Amino acid sequence: MLAPLYDWVDERLKLKPIEQTLLDEPIPGGASWNYVFGSATLFLFVLQAITGMCLSIYYVPSPDHAYDTVQYIENEVWFGWFIRGLHHWGASAVIMAVGLHMLQVFFDGAYKRPREMMWMVGVVLLLLMLGFGFTGYLLPWDQNAYWATQVGINMAGTTPIIGDFIVRLMRGGETLGALTLSRFFAIHVMILPAIMMVGVMLHIFILRRVGPAGPHDKAQAMQGSETFYPRQVYMDAVVMLFVFCILAVLAYTVQFPLADKADPSDHSFIPVPEWYFLFHYQLLKWAPGPLVGYASWALPAAFIFCLFALPFLDRNTERVPSSRPMVMAGGMAFLVTMFVLLGISLRDLYAVPRTDPVIAKGEALVQKFACKTCHRIHGDGANVAPDLSYVADRHPEREWHIRHFKDPQSVSPGSFMPKFPLSDTQLNNLTSYVLTLKSGKH
Amino acid sequence: MEVETPVSSDEAESGVSTPVGTRRSFFARVTAAISTVIGLSLTIPIVGYVVFPAFQRKKQEWVPIAKIDDLPVEQPKALDYTVAEKDGWLETKATKGIWAIKHSNDEVTVFSPICPHLGCGYKWDGQDRLFKCPCHGSVYNLKGVVQAGPAPRPLDTLPVKVENGELLVIYKEFKSGLADQTEI
């Protein structure tokens, strides 16, 4: 059906040569599953762009409304939770895809002459991607967004001489507030995408001018080549489907609710950065006082410089990994350090259960009203009234608990539980705590 | 129909080559199928997401506006009708003025405050016992019937009920200038 239309357009615009240039690019050594990471990254970037455009339909970048609009998307707009879920998980996936793509290029020595520029543009694209992650994290304007961004900005503030200026520039003034949110939004949805598009085009342009590196194994490279279409395109498509399915399943099954609305006066909140910044976050915990500055800006700056200059630091033309022991060892050392730090950081995070302040306040109310005079919770308290250890399994709906606290007999006839004089806030805090009492949560 | 080109034994031994024939069309079909699956899985939610507000209707609820005992009999009284309006994610409180006329303790007429002629706000003239619109001179009696002026229809009445001694009203707006009452 589309073929006649294509022929009609082709007759006028002469598309066939372009089609051939795009699809018949020779892949040295043949199509391979090793080459799918770049396409997967591009696919994820496009997916982020599409879901991001959708989110911007309802999102408003103002401290007054940002949180409400994200809640609206999450809870009311049809498929809003799905679009936001895709964008949320897609952000992590794109960083992973970039990481794998870079590892493959690093391992294969594909950054070496004549592909130095492709690698350097790639490093810039990585930094832009991290910029997307950092600026996007603030936009929902919940406690986590606010305090994690506060920490991120303060890290930049440890840079000597210009640190203070950088902080003001990033915040758009003295404090993190309305001006910060609107500039982060502009950077996230206008400026970075524009630079990113130019960067991606340049990256692909260089690829097409220089050609793919092919296998580092000479014998394999000598086996000839095949065109990009159809087998490499097919492999890329299979991987895209795989990645898309994972994201869709995550978006469908793992809800990602917001924390409380950002409260600049609540200093008790412990923020957690995105996992891809965690290894650095962990490093900062260990840096002794005078070295914090170096750990937070000098180390990343040095690392980025090395990464950027890698094709010139490593002038050995040999691509086979076994013939480049120093570089491989350096790369391995970085990976091991990063994953160990990430592991320790994750372990620490889960060892100390982070409690939402609302839940903590609710738990305090249990003490205040002496609930355990009658109820038992995880072995603590009297056994006069029902054991509440897993009460949220029996009654997972907030509504039920609210009605129950207001008038116990209305939902539980014959109950001898008294009515407690709870304010609306107390009622909310207490139910938030009670809803955490379920099995599978320790 | 595409015919599979036989691959010479030389070529097969020497390594890779671009797939041809049915192998080629197999890859093409799988690629097309995957594009369709991803495309549809994205398009359906996105269409729903985008059209969502077009299918939302404002919820009309009974709002208590006065104690029935506070209303004078057969004497129009201007009352405030306050309602939390939800405009997408934005919740605002809107106040509208309405006219209530109590006939008995369970019979009340409530008029929309908007003149059905061109949408001005009309007033009650206590001396003449008539509603008068200052803009174009439409005049209505206590029952809302047009007495003079260009108004095409009587004053618009609003749904009303009395429960537990309270007057409850649903606020509605109607198009001005038409002989028939058409809700906006």
The per-residue pLDDT for A203 is 98
pLDDT tens column, A398-408: 888 888 888 88
Most confidently modeled range among A111-120, A380-389, A431-440:
A111-120
Which pLDDT score, from 0 to 100, does residue B4 have? 46
Instruction: Say if residue B85's pLDDT is above 50.
Output: yes
Lowest mean pLDDT, pick from A96-105, A250-259, A337-346, B7-16: B7-16
Cβ contact, residue pair A65, B89, below 8 Å: yes
Q: The domain A357-434: what is its CATH number? A: 1.10.760.10
What percent of chain B shows pLDDT beyond 90? Answer: 41
Residue A233 has pLDDT above 80, yes or no: yes
B16:A226 CB<8 A: yes
Chain B CB within 8 Å of residue A240 CB: yes
Cβ contact, residue pair A80, B49, below 8 Å:
yes
The Cα A217–Cα A30 span in angstroms is 13
pLDDT band at residue A283 using 50, 70 and 90 as cut-offs? confident
Can you give the pLDDT at residue A108?
93
What pLDDT digit, counting tens, does each position of B67-78 carry? 988 899 989 999
At A306, is the pLDDT very low, low, confident or very high (cuts 50, 70, 90)?
very high
Give yes or no for residue A90 having a pLDDT over 50: yes
Residues of A in contact with B30 (CB under 8 A): 234, 237-238
Please give the pLDDT value at position B177: 87
Provide the residue ranges of all domains of chain A, joining segments of one domain with +. 23-351, 357-434
pLDDT tier for residue B94 given thresholds of 50, 70 and 90: confident
Mean pLDDT over all residues of chain A?
A: 90
| Option in B16, B37, B88 nearest A225 (CB) | B16
Going by pLDDT thresholds of 50, 70 and 90, the confidence category of residue B24 is very high
Which whole number is the average pLDDT over A391-418? Answer: 86
Q: In chain B, where does the domain assigned CATH 2.102.10.10 lie?
A: 63-169
Q: Assign domain A23-351 one CATH number from 1.10.1200.10, 3.40.50.720, 3.30.830.10, 1.20.810.10.
A: 1.20.810.10
Q: Out of A29, A50, A69, name the one closest to residue B89 (CB).
A: A69
Under an 8 A CB cutoff, do A223 and B14 touch?
yes
Cα of A46 to nearest chain B Cα, Å:
12
Q: Is the pLDDT of residue A421 over 50?
A: yes
Contacts of A224 in chain B (CB under 8 A): 14-17
> What does each C-alpha distance from A372 to A378, A388, A395 come to in angstroms?
11, 10, 19
Structure tokens at B9: 């034994």
Residue A9 has pLDDT above 90, yes or no: yes
The closest CB to that of A50, out of B28, B42, B88, belongs to B42
Cβ contacts of B45 on chain A, cutoff 8 Å: 78-79, 82-83
Q: What is the pLDDT of residue A289?
A: 72
Give B63-169's CATH code, choosing from 2.40.50.90, 3.40.50.300, 2.102.10.10, 3.40.1310.30. Answer: 2.102.10.10
B106-140: pLDDT as tens digits: 889 999 999 999 988 899 998 999 999 989 989 99
Number of A–B residue contacts, CB under 8 Å: 84
Chain A environment of B15 (Cβ under 8 Å) = 30, 222-224
> Which pLDDT score, from 0 to 100, does residue A370 have?
83
> Which one has a higher pLDDT value, B11 or A122?
A122
- pLDDT for res A352: 59
A417: confidence class by pLDDT, cuts 50, 70, 90:
confident
- Confidence tier at A351 by pLDDT (50, 70, 90): low
Q: Is the pLDDT of residue B45 over 90?
A: yes
**B28 to chain A: closest CA residue:** A230
